[in-house]
Amino acid sequence: MHNLATKQEAEYFDPITVEVVRMRLETIVSEMGIAMMRTAGSPVITEAGDFNTALFDVTGRLCAYSDYIQLHIGSASVAVKKLLEAVPLSQMYPGDAYISNDPHTSGATHPPDVTVVSPIFYEGKPVAFAQSQAHLMDVGGMGPGGFAPAAYDCFSEALRMPPGVKVFERGIPVDSVRLMITNNVRLPVLLWNDIRSLVAANNVGAARLCATLDEFGLNEFDRYMQRGFDMAEDVVRSRIRSLPDGVYEADEWQEHNGHVDDLYRIHCAMTIAGDRLTLDFAGTSPQTDGFVNSSWGSTVGAVATALSPILAWDTPLNHGVFSPITIKAPLNTIVNPTSPSPISNGHIETGMRVVRLVVKLMNMVLSRSDDPVLRERTQGIWPDSWTGGITAGEREKGPFFVLFNMDGGAHGAGAQPRLDGLDCSGMTCQVSHTLPDVEMNELMYPVLYLWRRLDYQTGGPGAQRGGLGLDFAWTLHDCRDAHQTVFAPTAQVPAEGYGGGYPGGGSEHQILRNTNIMQALRAGGISHLEDIAFEKKELLELSAQGIPIRAGDIFWQRIAGGGGYGDPLLRDPALVVRDLRSGYIAEPAAYDVYGVALAEGGQVADLEATAGRRAELRRQRIGRPVRDAASEVELPAGAEPVSKGVALRDGAYVCLHCGTELGVGGDWHDHCHTREAPASERLAELHVRVRPRHIEPLVMLREDFCPGCGTALDAQVVVKTH
Amino acid sequence: MSIQIGVDVGGTFTDAAVAIDGEIIRGKAYSTKDVTSGILNALRVVQDQVGATDEAAFFKDVSKFVLGNTIVTNAVDELKFARVGLLVTAGFRDTLRIARSSRGPSRDAHQIRPRSDIVDRTDIVEIRERIDAKGEVIVPLDLNDVRAKLEQLAASGVKAFAVCFLWAFRNMDHEAQVGELIRKEFPHIPFTLSSEIAPVYREYERMVTTVLDAAVKPIVATHFKELVEALRNRGLRTSVKIMQVDGGFVSAEEASKAPIKMFNSGPAGGAEGARRLSQALSVDRLITADMGGTSFDAAVILDGEYRVLPRAEFGEFPTTLTAVDIASIGAGGGSIAWIDSRGLMRVGPHSAGSEPGPACYGRGGSRPTVTDASVVLGLLDPDYFLGGAIKLDKARAVEAIRTTLSGPLGLSDEQSAAGIHRLTVHQMANAIRTITINRGHDPRDFTMVSFGGACGLFAAAIARECDVSRVIVPVTASVFSAYGLLHSNSVFTVVQTTPFSFSQNLEKLEEGFERLEGLVQAWFDEDGIPTADREIIREADMKFAGQIFDVTTRMPAVRLSDDRKEDVRKRFVQDYEAEFGVGTAWTESDLLVTNSRLKGIGRFEIPNATVRTGVDGLAKTEPWSTRRVTDPMTGGSFEVQVFRGLAIDQMENGPLIIEEPDTTIYVPERATVHRDNSANYVIDLASSSGSAAQH
């Protein structure tokens, strides 16, 4: 491979070398990540893997990206481009490192996500950028940990570092910048150490890239890297081409802005035209004065997070993957806000809602693809939101602490075509996600966990079940009082299922005031809430800050679950029995929701009784006798796929489970037997917990059943004003 | 006679390295289902070589017998072990399922699966009890509750109990009481307490370790009882020792008490062999490269010692155990090459294994593998694979590569095969980077040791990729793990989480060490290790306040008093910066100790052993034949000399091939090979400046 320099005249690319260059680039960004993990202090980095490392070329094109937070593909790209606008390349030198965190000007996802970009020089010329970004524990502002539900503008949220702030100059820390930063944060030593580890990661990237250029030669390396972009782009373009052209529209809803419990619309029209895909967010709510606005970097990252596993699950992540995709968003909306709108939670609220919205749009179009592989990329929606709990205070005898509880990432995943959603998966973007141990949190912070378990009320029912979220409670231990910040972005508008699968449960926080918890424990323990006496139970607002918590109170957090895939009546009865025996579903759900009757003392399913029960449930759904329904359905010859279980044959929609002709023309949903009810009420019947919403707009669940066999073909969450 | 024996029982072969009056003899036989016959057969080969006809006399003279085996490794990898009843603190029944999120590094939603269940959820019971982070009892234990639940589990048919309560390592009382109850009332059911097997913090790893240990106990108990009996009946007097994951052996009885520590004992033997080799050759820094059919393992020897890593991963599970630091990737002779969505070639991670195996095995495999590529390139002689034991079918190899790769890629069959080889080399070089560069070492300072059947074809190319200039293929390469086992020492490790801050008096840390030292001394006495052969190593896992991960550092071998504080701090900063780079230490922060660890070593080394090279009477320096090969890294095609039967006895220039019954070595262009005093092959590669212009 080393003789390539002599073959430059040729257009020839050795296919093996293309792959060798790809592997080398990925090794470099992964080694940057390892350097960061091994030197960093924040558990947010080392435990939750909340960071990214990447290489960009000198024009800001993404060359390689590590297996950590996918959302930062957006913020990192914007950070590099904005740096290039702020500082000309000619004024950069080896050993320089630039720091930024301002979402409005540098593309950051939110202020605690601090980015360091270092130019890489080879033979005296700038040839690339190493970029590292991590969630640092505190960046100042009104809320410890950098989250400020009470903020009305970005100035109160954090120290704001725009593009172009040089934090290392020719390898030496810039002291004036260091003093300025550390004077504005709550944990200055930890923050500066973490910044060091970002610089260390970039240094590793620079050294390894230069060694690679020694080996291949700069020109040949560039040529092969460009070839790598082109090949990834070709794959994505060919997959888009296999999707039917058209415009597809959908909505998602951001809940609560930190001040008021409004729903904010996120609208997107997705256009598939040949091998191009365009997302246009016109029609989205204007920016709001609460902390939920999603920066442009975060919106771009959300689109990348949603699309790359669907269209590019098996290609390298580089510039080429995103070339066929265009994103348009009007300025001053919650998906492309400007100063002074507050923004400190925008990425995991509105930003993650964008992921949900794009996955929903992709489900619509993938299900119509004539490529069966792409039809299998449909999925139950993930809750895609991070349920926050941040506790700050002083120990009885000891220092100030900030418990930024990484348990908050433990939502369940959306169900997949062949697999249940993963329990406690973390958000779609959280590749390599890790939760803390109970002992880790108890060692570092003055809390005593009462329980930490899977929440059986959260998995969206389906033939493949949605993943379960976490349910935990703690009481202060060795601490008299503290202040609590919370946010529960998925509470009233749950993550939808797909193809007849139902939505998953929502998140919530409660505080039980003035309990007898320590006495109850000493008297022999508790394992359920019923064992505890308390003065009152407070269901907290979706987002709130500065809530006092005192010794004797119990803080209780439950986290959302993923949407299901396919009608729950089509679930393998053996899996339902396993779920029941393991406590992964509510006791009555096996019979009520999945229609499974038990035999042999609950050890196995009674298949005959189950078939009867399922027919009965299908009959109840449509109020008339039903045909038999098959679970695995093949697309008949000459039919076009429309959705899971629905096809278009000879101009008419048909149910593939029983062959019933649904009707001709229009939207196939309109030919179904439809039922609509408030989502929280209907899902409560299915033993899934969603927070009731009593003010307009209301959140409804619309179920569409085949009028012939009663199989659930869709179950959509619809937001309505009467 | 004075006889010492190292035996490594692998999946396919059982290898023996036996020292008889200081001369080492090798033996190899197929592994057998009952294990014992395979061991006896391999030893028979050795006995035949020295003309020992009286088996009982042979066994009588054995003073050391160390065994490496895959029984625990296989049980964990295949999840085939006993049904366990698990007792946990009330409120925390889902810890194994939550698994601290088993998301993993894939962004493909179809690849996201939970870790396998090692205990059925219905066999996990909650016990009302609770201890806090300081070790204080918050909820007292109710033994009646425990008894009722144990009875339920026993009645439902569990074969072992595991007990893992929160903070049990800070206060062992509750677990100890449960243990006592089981011993008294369920004497036939083996059990494991987390505070005994893994007294360190982080309940997820601790619970995994405890459950896996309990789950393999019933298997191991019967297995070793039979094995020891069979050997005893043949006349063996010395006790059988078993290799452990951290690189030392213990007696079979001791091993059965914590059998999970036998995981990976074979590869640990390989690291031990490399340690021995580094002493014998006086080379401080070695990289081991071991390639088999399905995996490639790499480890580092630094200052004559291998590294051990805390929180080792066993299969898909993280554990609390300390293990020899071996980087392992799924790339071996059976790895399959395929075309991805971009139209480019990839190799692995899928493997054809041994069934159906590579296409050239002719057992129904049709997908091209790394071994097929070696055949097509002419690197392997189809008639001399494993000394001719298996005939390879070159036509099938060509066909598999042509259909799957050459056509779609527009390459010749040789080019495709070279591509497979190059991508494999690249992956292996990356594995070596993981354990050198990522740990702060420069691979250019190292010598590579290549062993394992398939490694000799790749070693020189991997070394070039990593800028390593010398490769040694030891004369014992084919039984290298057994060779390591033969030379290994007895090691007993005790560890305890002992939170300590450097703002406290160092005497407090000393107290913890002294308690552990008591345990180690008791073990020395019990195992009858002579005072002169005893050694104790003190280690501490330390970190700067605010960090999560700790770095293991060796403590001075003296009593810690407060005036040594600065000395200990400096030592740690040195170790830390050696790993992460100068200036990276958090010098402003307090220094914390999380775990104290004590390693008791009983020296069992065999001084001045020489290796019998055997196979006399063959012509020297005469190539056995020539054949045409395609060099995979350069694409050059030429006629090379093939040497067989230890025929090299002077410096030879590459390219050439050396064929031994159990391994083939390829020495490329601009490299030389010679044999050192101990008959090891030494391959020297031209400097890297040369290599840049090479192709």
Nearest-Cα residue of chain B relative to residue A239: B341
Give the pLDDT score at B389: 75
User: Which ranges of B490-535 would DSSP assign to H, the alpha helix?
Assistant: 506-526
Res A398 pLDDT > 80: no
**Are B579 and A38 within 8 A, CB to CB?**
yes
CA proximity to B38, closest of B68, B4, B12: B12
- CA atoms in the 13 A half-sphere facing the CB of B340: 21
What is chain B's Cα-based Rg?
A: 26
Q: Where are the domains of chain B?
A: 78-221, 335-424, 490-602
| Portion of chain B with pLDDT greater than 90, in percent | 53
- Residue A271 placed within a domain: no
- Residue A676 placed within a domain: yes
Query: Per-residue DSSP letters for A108-162?
Result: -SSTTEEEEEEEEEETTEEEEEEEEEEE-S---SSSGGG--TT-SSGGGT-----
| H or E stretch covering A403 | strand A400-404
Cβ contacts of A423 on chain B, cutoff 8 Å: 97-98, 114
Selected residue of B98, B340, B377 to mutate for chain A interface (largest A Cβ count, 10 A)? B98
- Residue A693 placed within a domain: yes
Give the pLDDT score at B689: 40
| H or E stretch covering A194 | helix A188-216
Cβ contacts of A440 on chain B, cutoff 8 Å: 201-202
CA A407 to chain B, closest CA, distance in angstroms equals: 9
Q: Are B231 and B59 in contact (CB under 8 A)?
A: yes
Cβ contacts of A28 on chain B, cutoff 8 Å: none
**Are A38 and B549 within 8 A, CB to CB?**
yes
Q: Are B37 and B48 in contact (CB under 8 A)?
A: no
Cβ contacts of B130 on chain A, cutoff 8 Å: 521, 525
**Are B106 and A423 within 8 A, CB to CB?**
no
Find the mean pLDDT for residues A459-475. 98
Cβ contacts of A583 on chain B, cutoff 8 Å: 93, 121
User: Which ranges of B454-505 would DSSP assign to H, the alpha helix?
Assistant: 459-465, 480-487
Nearest-Cα residue of chain A relative to residue B546: A41
CA A496 to chain B, closest CA, distance in angstroms equals: 17
Q: Are residues A57 and A167 in the same domain?
A: yes
Q: Are residues A643 and A580 in the same domain?
A: no
**Are A522 and B142 within 8 A, CB to CB?**
no
Res A526 pLDDT > 80: no
**Are A440 and B202 within 8 A, CB to CB?**
yes
Give the pLDDT score at A9: 47
Q: How far apart are CA B412 and CA B52, in angstroms?
A: 54
Token code pair at residue B374 = 């070696």
Res A649 pLDDT > 60: yes
Q: Are B534 and B598 in contact (CB under 8 A)?
A: no
How sure is the predictor about A387, in pLDDT bands with cuts at 50, 70 and 90? very high
SS3 state at A543: strand
Q: Are residues A90 and A209 in the same domain?
A: yes
Q: How far apart are CA A151 and CA A89, in angstroms?
A: 37
* B203-218 as b/e: b if 16+ CB within 10 A: bbbbbbbbbbbbbbbb
Find the mean pLDDT for residues A303-313. 96
Residues 6+ apart with CB under 8 A from A673: A621, A622, A704, A705, A706, A707, A710
Nearest to B342 among A24, A197, A234 (CB): A234
Q: Are residues A604 and A647 in the same domain?
A: no
Give helix then strand counts, H and E, for chain B: 19, 36
How sure is the predictor about B10, in pLDDT bands with cuts at 50, 70 and 90? confident
Cβ contacts of A582 on chain B, cutoff 8 Å: 121-122
SS3 state at B145: helix
B655: cis peptide before it, omega within 30°?
Answer: yes
Give me the residues paired with residue B627 across strands. B640
**Are A451 and B129 within 8 A, CB to CB?**
no
| H or E stretch covering A271 | strand A263-273
Token code pair at residue B316 = 């898909």
Average pLDDT along chain B: 88
Find the mean pLDDT for residues B284-303. 88
Domain hosting A31: range is: 2-233
Res B693 pLDDT > 60: no
A588: cis peptide before it, omega within 30°?
Answer: no
Give the total number of structural domains in chain A. 4
- Residue A539 placed within a domain: yes
CA proximity to A78, closest of A33, A121, A120, A133: A133
Q: Are residues A387 and A514 in the same domain?
A: yes
Res B50 pLDDT > 60: yes
Nearest to A23 among B97, B418, B426 (CB): B426
- CA atoms in the 13 A half-sphere facing the CB of B409: 30
Q: Are residues A590 and A510 in the same domain?
A: no
Q: Are residues A550 and A672 in the same domain?
A: no
A126: cis peptide before it, omega within 30°?
Answer: no
Cβ contacts of A584 on chain B, cutoff 8 Å: 121
Between residues B529 and A492, which one has the greater pLDDT?
A492
Q: How far apart are CA A312 and CA A331, in angstroms?
A: 29
Give the pLDDT score at A8: 47
Res B694 pLDDT > 50: no
Q: Are residues A695 and A580 in the same domain?
A: no
Nearest-Cα residue of chain B relative to residue A436: B100
Q: Are A379 and A359 in contact (CB under 8 A)?
A: yes
Q: Which of A526, A542, A566 is the last residue of a domain?
A: A566
**Are A41 and B548 within 8 A, CB to CB?**
yes
DSSP A187: S
Res B688 pLDDT > 70: no
Q: Are residues A596 and A703 in the same domain?
A: no
**Are A40 and B430 within 8 A, CB to CB?**
no
CA proximity to A109, closest of A51, A175, A53, A188: A51
Q: Are B105 and A67 in contact (CB under 8 A)?
A: yes
Could you report the per-residue pLDDT of A227-281, keeping only the tens digit for each? 999 999 999 999 999 999 999 999 999 999 999 999 999 999 999 999 999 999 9
- Residue A331 placed within a domain: no
In this structure, how many other beta carbons lie within 10 angstroms of the beta carbon of residue B119? Answer: 22
Res A40 pLDDT > 60: yes
Residues 6+ apart with CB under 8 A from A363: A378, A379, A381, A498
- Burial bucket for residue A125 (CB in 10 Å: 0-12, 13-18, 19+): exposed
SS3 state at A16: helix
Residues 6+ apart with CB under 8 A from A667: none
Q: How far apart are CA B93 and CA B262, in angstroms?
A: 28
**Torsion of Cα atoms, A437 then A442 then A445 then A451, to 10°:** 80
Residues 6+ apart with CB under 8 A from A434: A47, A48, A49, B100, B101, B103
Find the mean pLDDT for residues B99-119. 91
Average pLDDT along chain A: 93
CA proximity to A575, closest of A565, A713, A452, A635: A565
In this structure, how many other beta carbons lie within 10 angstroms of the beta carbon of residue B157? Answer: 9
- Residue A261 placed within a domain: no
CA B494 to chain A, closest CA, distance in angstroms equals: 21
Nearest-Cα residue of chain A relative to residue B548: A41
Give the pLDDT score at B548: 66
Number of residues written out for chain A: 722
Between residues B677 and B57, which one has the greater pLDDT?
B57
- Report the complex ipTM: 0.93
* Domain spanning B490-602: CATH 3.30.1490: yes
Res A76 pLDDT > 70: yes
The pair phi, psi for residue B430, each rounded to 5°, is -65, -40
CA proximity to B30, closest of B18, B49, B45: B45
Cβ contacts of B108 on chain A, cutoff 8 Å: 309, 313-314
Cβ contacts of A34 on chain B, cutoff 8 Å: 438
Sheet architecture: strand order including A543-550: A400-404, A388-394, A481-487, A543-550
CA proximity to A714, closest of A364, A214, A257: A364
Res B691 pLDDT > 50: no
Find the mean pLDDT for residues A321-325. 97
DSSP B281: H
Find the mean pLDDT for residues B311-328. 88
- Residue A602 placed within a domain: yes
Token code pair at residue A470 = 């976490």
Selected residue of A1, A12, A13, A16 to mutate for chain B interface (largest B Cβ count, 10 A)? A16
**Are A426 and B129 within 8 A, CB to CB?**
no
Cβ contacts of A585 on chain B, cutoff 8 Å: none
Strands B308-309 and B534-544: unpaired
Q: How far apart are CA A404 and CA B419, in angstroms?
A: 49
Q: Are A352 and A302 in contact (CB under 8 A)?
A: yes
Res B617 pLDDT > 70: no
Could you report the per-residue pLDDT of B602-613, keeping only the tens digit for each? 988 777 777 776
Q: How far apart are CA B551 and CA B572, in angstroms?
A: 8
Could you report the per-residue pLDDT of B380-392, keeping only the tens digit for each? 999 988 777 778 9
- Residue A489 placed within a domain: yes
